[in-house]
Structure 1
Amino acid sequence: MRDFVIMTDSCCDLSDRTARELGLEVLPLVFHLKGTDYANYLDGREISFPDFYAQVRSGENVTTAAVNVGQFEAAMRPILESGRDVLSISFSSALSTTYQSSVIAAEGLRSEFPDAKILTVDSLCASLGQGLLVWLCAKEKQAGRSIDEVCAYAEETKGRVCHWFTVDDLNHLKRGGRVSAAAALFGTMLSVKPVLHVDDEGRLIPMSKVRGRKSSLLALVDAMEKTAVDPAGQTVFISHGDCEEDARFVGDEIRRRLGVPEVRINYIGPVVGSHAGPGTVALFFLGNKR
């Protein structure tokens, strides 16, 4: 059985250490801030995550760019030349063209490497939801599963990766075209906080609005309580837009209420963070449905 590499992109929001431990190949998306292009590396080497969020809080505008076909080809080719296969798991196609770039790159390289397997998966996930799916797939690989088995596992599992999050201000998502102007009205009401999720098609959907920050954080735990499968048997991921204390509050609550044994917390990286904004807290777990 040929060895293979799991490839993903920086919207997975895994820590750099975790990505290295899992042997992942992670391609950075790019964001443009104050006249400079930055690669969104998981270790924040070009701009630290706190510095990025400080700029956004000060009102700086950020634009983002997907991973392009050339980047995928450049990353895939050395792996294929080494005799290994590639399983690429990308940021939701409903939010980015990154997945489509991976498909085009794979198609172009198959004629060059006819004996290789180059498989692509549209995660339909975002941030540490994507990270959770990739992490689970890497665990399957470590357990000795073949590339075809891990690809099938990814397709079977992605629809059960639940994404629940709350933002301080929906206008960040509105500016990036991620939610409608009507939905953004949720975010303009005094002390009313929106609760959103990612649906089966990988789109961001406002679900409810609650009064006050603490209530919005508890609403994430309520959503998990309703749909999580065996919470006491899974590792749960939480990402945050420079508000670690709030993320830890959610983590403590799901440990207390649901008996979750392990919670992993990390920053929402600049590409996703430029759309979600500072103060976002996102909870990811496996459920019976999204």
Structure 2
Amino acid sequence: MPCSAPAPAPPIGEVRDWVEENKLHLAHWFTVDDLMFLFRGGRVSKTAAWAGTMLNIKPVMHVDDEGHLIPLEKVRGRKKSLNALVDHMEKSAVQPIDQQMVFITHGDCLEEAEYVAEQVKERFGVKEVVINYVDPVIGAHSGPGTMALFFLADKR
């Protein structure tokens, strides 16, 4: 059976227009596993990093419209932090959620990324979830165990 050619890419102007229309709707929710990396990057105090580590506190954060890192929630335990990412998606994602392509990036924690992907698929019926590694620059500031969930929302 002959292979069919892939669908042609949309014209660059259409891609540009889509990006301009949606750039402030791309939500980035993430959590980290080790607060000491946030301390080293100047994001939290040494006391907060030490106390948070001792109490197994995991921050749930996002990036605002100006690109600032905003901590919005603190939960105890890794699994709760992963579930909190999906909970925030439920509260703010553009409908219909199941029509979105969702992205997950992780800092060397593929099994946990697959867990988040499965939660997104089960809860919202999302068909396409792309999992990838956090890039080296972000990874150096957030450390191993970083988990980020990207989706379209009412606002960033």
Do both share a fold (TM > 0.5)?
A: yes
SS of the aligned residue for 1:283 comes to: strand
SS of the aligned residue for 2:116 comes to: helix
Q: 1:183 to 1:256 in 2, by over 3 A?
A: farther
Matches within 5 A, 1:209-288: 209-229=74-94, 230-288=96-154
Q: 1:286 to 1:184 in 2, by over 3 A?
A: farther
The reply to whether residue 169 of structure 1 matches residue 34 of structure 2 is yes
Paired residue type of 1:155: E
Q: 1:261 to 1:183 in 2, by over 3 A?
A: farther
**What is the Cα-based RMSD across aligned positions, in Å?**
2.2
- The superposition leaves residues 143-169 of structure 1 with CA deviations (integer Å, 9 ceiling, x where unpaired) of 2242xx543432321111001111012
Paired residue type of 1:172: F
Aligned match of 1:160 in 20, 25, 32? 25
Matches within 5 A, 1:85-100: none
Count of residue correspondences:
148
Question: How far did 1:265 drift?
Answer: 0.4
Higher mean displacement: 184-193 or 156-165: 184-193
SS of the aligned residue for 2:91 comes to: helix
Distance 2:102 2:47 in 1: 28
- The superposition leaves residues 113-163 of structure 1 with CA deviations (integer Å, 9 ceiling, x where unpaired) of xxxxxxxxxxxxxxxxxxxxxxxxxxxx922242xx543432321111001
Paired residue type of 2:125: G
- The superposition leaves residues 57-78 of structure 1 with CA deviations (integer Å, 9 ceiling, x where unpaired) of xxxxxxxxxxxxxxxxxxxxxx
Identity of aligned residues (%): 58
Paired residue type of 1:165: F
- Give unmatched runs, 5+ long, in structure 2: 1-7
The reply to whether residue 142 of structure 1 matches residue 9 of structure 2 is yes
Tell me the TM-score normalized by structure 1: 0.48
Distance 1:274 1:224 in 2: 26
C-alpha contact (below 8 Å) 2:59/2:72 kept by paired residues: yes
C-alpha contact (below 8 Å) 2:39/2:46 kept by paired residues: no
Distance 1:213 1:196 in 2: 14
C-alpha contact (below 8 Å) 1:183/1:206 kept by paired residues: no
Structure with the greater alpha carbon radius of gyration: 1
